[in-house]
Chain A
Amino acid sequence: MIPELITAFIVLFQMMCVVVVFAYLVTRTRFYSEILEGIFSWKNQLILILIFGIISIYGSESGIVILGAPLNIRDLGPMVAGFVGGPLVGLGAGMIGAGYRMTMGGFSAIACSFATILAGLLAGLINLANKRQFPGIVLAISGAILIEGLHMGLVLLICRPLSQAVELVSEVAFPMIAANAAGMFIFAFITLNLENEKRTTRERDRYQAELQRKNAELQIAREIQESFLPASLPSLPGYSLAAESRPAREVGGDFYDVLASPRGRVGLVIADVSDKGVPAALFMALSTTVMRASAAWHQRPRDAVSDANALIARESSSGMFVTLFFCLLDPGAGTLTYVNAGHNPPLLVRKNGEISSLTLTGIALGVEGGALYEERSVDLGAGDLLVLYTDGVTEAEDPSQKQFGEERLAALVRAQRSCTAGEVLAAIQAAVSAHTLTAPQYDDMTLVVLKVGS
C-alpha cells in the first residue's frame, strides 16, 4: 500500500507542475483578462469553455487508478472556469470534462461525470454571489474542498454496490480533495497576482495622467504669473532700465514691477516671497496686486509700503512673508526715494566706482501688521548704476555648494558700471550661470537694473 501511495504522490506532483504551466499560460491570454475585467463576449466565453474543458480532460487522463477509480483533478478545470467566468462557462467546461469521463466507463462513471458538471456550475454560482468577481484564495480553496466533498457524496449516493463505493471514497477522498485544493491554490494565486499587477498598472497610469494634468496646470499658472510682471519696460529719457525674473521651478515667489506715478515719476519694485512653489506663487499674486494698488494710491513710498504691509499681514497665515524694495524715481530731479522692507540691499554704484547699499528701513512685509517703515532718499548723477536683486542671485550655488556671494556681485557690478542696464543684467546672469555650471538651482533669480544716462 505504501509504495502505491508514494507513486500516487509523485504522479500528483507531476500533475501540479502541469497545472502551474497551464495556469500561467491561460491567465496570460487576452480572453482570460477580458473576463476577469468583466468584459463578456460569446467568443471569449466559448474559448474559456474549450480551454478549461481540455484541462478537465487532462485531469481525467493524468489520473492514477486506485481500486479501479481514477484519482484525478478533472473537477479543477470546470471549477476555475466557474470561478472566473460564471455559471455558463463553468457548466460548459464541466460538460466537456463529463462527456470525456463517460467514455472512460467504470462503476462510478455517472456519479463522477455528474459531479464534474456540478463542480463547474457551483463554482459559477459562487462567482455570481461574489458579484462576478474571482473569489479570493481562501474562498476559492474552500469552494474547491466543498465541491470535492460533494463529489464524494455523489459517489456514495449513486454508485452501487454501496460497499464498493464506501471503500473507494475512504481511499480517494483525502488525496482527491487535497489535489484539487492544491490545483485551485495555484490558479487562484496566479490569478490574484495578475489582478494585482493590473491594478498596479492602472494606478500608475492614473498617477501619470494626474501628473500630466498637474504639470499642465502649473504651466498655465506660470503663464498667469508671468502676466503679473510688466509686459514691457517704459522708456525713460536719460535712463536705461532692464529687468528679468527667472523662476527656479514652474512658478516662483519673486516679482518685480515698474509703475507709472503722477508727475512723471516711476516706481520700481523688487520682491521675494518666503518659501517656494505654489504657496509662494499665490502669495506673490496677492503681494504684487496689493503693492501695485497701494503705490497708485499713496504719494509717499513709506505710506505705500506701510499700507501694503497691513493688507498682506492680514492674509499671512503660516508665517508667509515678503521681502520688498520699493523706490520712486523722479527722473527730472534725479532723486530716488526708497523703502527697504527686509530685502537684500540693492547696490548703488557711483560713476567713480564708489559703492553703497540701500539697507533696511523696515521689517519684511506680512510679519507685523502695524510695522513702521522709514523712507530714505539718494541723489543720482549721470553714470550711476542701481542694481536690485533677489537672493537667488547671491545665493546661487556651484556644485560644491559655494555661494556666488555679495562681494562677487559688488565687484562685478563695479567693473560693469560703464555699461548699459541691459549689458549689466546680462553680465550678472552670465557670471551666475558660469558659477553654478550644472548644479541645479533651487531659488528664483530676479534682477532690475537702472542706469543713469543711456
Chain B
Amino acid sequence: MSTNLQVAEQRRGDTPVLSLKGRMDATTSPDAEVQLTRLIEGGDRHIVVDLSELEYISSAGLRVLLAGLKRLKQCGGAMKLAALRPEIQKVFDIAGFNRLFAIYPTLEEALGGGQAG
C-alpha cells in the first residue's frame, strides 16, 4: 500500500479527467483539492474523477470531493465519479454520499454521459 496520493489530469475531448491514485487522507487530500480548485477556477464545469486506483479515502478526502461538487453545482456544473473500488464505495455508502454524487462503474460510462448507476 502506498502512503501518498498521485493526482493526474488528462482531457478526454473537452472533459477534464482527474485520476486519484493511492490514499486520500488529511495529509494528501489538499493536493487533490488544489487541482480540483484550479480546474473549476479555470472554467471547467463538468469534471470526471477517476477513482479506479484509489485505495483509501478518509473524511478529509470526502470533504474535498464534496467541496468540489458544491462549487460545481453552484455554477450549474456537475462532478462524476468513476470506477470506485468496493471499499471506497462502502465509505460513500456509510456517509450517504452515494445518493449525492453521480457514480459510474467505469470511466468510459462516466464520459459517455449516461445515467449514473
Closest residue on chain A to residue B66 by CB atoms: A319
B63 touches A275 (CB 8 A): yes
A244 at the interface (CB under 8 A from B): no
Whether B60 lies near A276 (C-beta < 8 A) is: yes
Chain B residues with Cβ below 8 Å from A391 are 58-59
Residue picked from B63, B68, B96, most chain A C-beta under 10 Å: B96
CB closest residue in chain A, given B26: A276
Inter-chain contact B58/A342, CB cutoff 8 Å: no
Q: Which residues of chain B are within 8 angstroms of A235 by Cβ–Cβ distance? A: none
Set of chain A residues within 8 Å of B60, measured between Cβ atoms:
274-276
Cβ contact within 8 Å between A368 and B58: no
Whether A342 contacts B70 in the complex (CB less than 8 A), given A272-B59, A274-B62, A442-B26, comes out as: no
- Is A364 interfacial (CB 8 A cutoff)? yes
- Interface size of A by CB at 8 A reads 29
Say whether B97 contacts A342, CB under 8 Å.
yes
The prevalent SS among residues of B at the interface is helix
**Main secondary structure on A side of the interface with B:** loop
| Residue pair A342, B94 in contact (C-beta under 8 Å) | yes
Whole-angstrom CA separation of A230 from B56 in the bound complex: 33
Known A-B contacts A342-B94, A342-B96, A360-B94; A319 and B1 likewise in contact (beta carbons under 8 Å): no
How does the 8 Å CB contact mask read for A119-149 relative to B, with 1 for contact and 0 for none?
A: 0000000000000000000000000000000
Is B99 located at the chain interface by the 8 A CB criterion?
yes
Q: Is A16 an interface residue (CB 8 A)?
A: no
Q: How far, in Å, is A302 (CB) from chain B's closest CB? A: 14
Complex CA distance for A104 and B30, rounded to whole angstroms: 74
Q: Do residues B59 and A363 form an inter-chain contact, with CB atoms below 8 A? A: no
Q: Is B15 an interface residue (CB 8 A)?
A: no
B95 at interface, CB cutoff 8 A: yes
**In the complex the two chains form, is B26's CB within 8 Å of A401's CB?**
no
Give the distance in Å from the alpha carbon of A204 to the alpha carbon of B90 in the complex.
46
Interface 0/1 of A425-454, CB less than 8 Å to B: 000000000000000001100000000000
A253 / chain B contacts, CB cutoff of 8 Å: 59
- The verdict on B110 contacting chain A, using a C-beta distance below 8 Å, is no
Q: Using an 8 Å CB-CB cutoff, how does the interface string of B10-50 with A read, 1 for contact, 0 for none?
A: 00000000000000011101000000000000000000000
Residues in B with CB closer than 8 Å to A367 are 66, 96-97, 100
> Within 8 Å CB of B1, what residues of A?
400-401
Interface 0/1 of A20-54, CB less than 8 Å to B: 00000000000000000000000000000000000
A319-355 interface code vs B (CB 8 A; 1 in, 0 out)? 1110100000000000000000111110000000000
Tell me the complex Cα distance, A323–B94, Å. Answer: 9
Can you list, as one digit per residue, whether each of A400-415 has a CB less than 8 Å from chain B (1) or not (0)?
1100000000000000
List the A residue with the shortest CB-CB distance to B68: A319
Q: Can you name the residue of chain B whose Cβ is closest to the Cβ of A318?
A: B67
Residues of A within 8 A of B100 (CB): 363, 367-368
Partner of A275 from the list B59, B94, B96, B97 (CB cut-off 8 Å) is B59
- B108 within 8 A of partner (CB): no
Say whether, besides A277-B26, A367-B100, A342 and B95 are in contact (CB < 8 Å): yes
Q: How far is the CA of A274 from the CA of B3 in the complex (A)?
A: 20
Chain B residues whose C-beta falls within 8 Å of the C-beta of A272 in the assembled complex:
59
- The reply to whether A442 and B63 contact each other, CB–CB distance below 8 Å, is no
Question: Any chain B CB within 8 A of the CB of A303?
Answer: no
A362 within 8 A of B: yes
B25 and A442 contact, CB distance less than 8 A: yes
A341 to B93, CA, bound (A): 11
Tell me if B3 and A401 are in contact (CB < 8 A).
Answer: yes
Task: Check B84 for interface membership: any CB of A closer than 8 A.
Answer: no
Judging by beta carbons under 8 Å apart, are A321 and B99 in contact?
no
Select which of A273, A319, A343, A401 is within 8 A of B94 by beta carbon: A343
B93 touches A364 (CB 8 A): no
Establish whether residues A319 and B67, one from each chain, have CB atoms under 8 Å apart when the complex forms. yes
| A395: interface (CB < 8 Å) | yes
**Cα separation A398 to B106 with both chains bound (whole Å):** 32
Q: Does B107 contact A (CB under 8 A)?
A: no
4 more A-B residue pairs beyond the given contacts A277-B26, A364-B97, with a C-beta to C-beta distance below 8 A: A319-B63, A323-B94, A367-B66, A367-B100
19 contacts between A and B (CB under 8 A): A274-B66, A275-B29, A276-B60, A319-B62, A319-B65, A319-B68, A321-B62, A321-B95, A323-B59, A343-B94, A344-B94, A360-B96, A363-B95, A364-B95, A364-B96, A395-B58, A401-B3, A442-B27, A443-B58
| List of 7 A-B pairs having minimum Cβ-Cβ separation, nearest first | A319-B67, A363-B96, A342-B95, A319-B66, A274-B59, A274-B63, A275-B60
Interface on B for A, CB 8 Å cutoff? Answer: 1, 3, 25-27, 29, 58-60, 62-70, 93-97, 99-100
